[in-house]
Amino acid sequence: MAFSTKTFALASAAFVTLLGAFAAPACAQATATPWELKPDMGYAYDRDGKTYSYKMGTSNAGELLKGAKKVPRGTLFFIGQNGQLYMRSGPYLEGDGKFKFGPDQ
């Protein structure tokens, strides 16, 4: 079975990368910025809410993919006021392309 670490990194790192973005000091942002994901890396959000990154290998890729699910396009990840990580599928952009849940102006 072929293993794409880039695909895995995109799917598994999505929520952790966003977690790091929300953990940074808040600042008004007029435009979206793309995530910088690295191939051959795995990202984790553990049961205590801590984040980790791991260098990936391919020797046990089949085991890694068992039970893994692709993250659907159009998924938004965010940290709630209670500090929990959430994900939402569905529209998050206005008709004009602005972020629906952006800062009040």
pLDDT in tens, 57-80: 878 878 888 989 998 988 988 888
Residue 101 has pLDDT above 60, yes or no: yes
Domain region containing 46: 41-89
Residue 67 forms part of a structural domain:
yes
Entry field: residues in the chain: 105
Highest mean pLDDT among 32-36, 48-52, 69-73: 69-73
Quote the pLDDT of residue 23: 47
Residue 47 forms part of a structural domain:
yes
Residue 5 forms part of a structural domain:
no
- Please tell me the total count of domains within the chain: 1
Quote the pLDDT of residue 105: 52
Residue 35 forms part of a structural domain:
no
**CA 35, CA 10: separation in Å to the nearest integer?**
9
Quote the pLDDT of residue 33: 81
Q: Exposed, middle or buried by CB within 10 Å (0-12, 13-18, 19+), for 72?
A: exposed
**Confidence class for position 89, pLDDT limits 50, 70, 90:** confident
Longest dimension (CA), the chain: 51
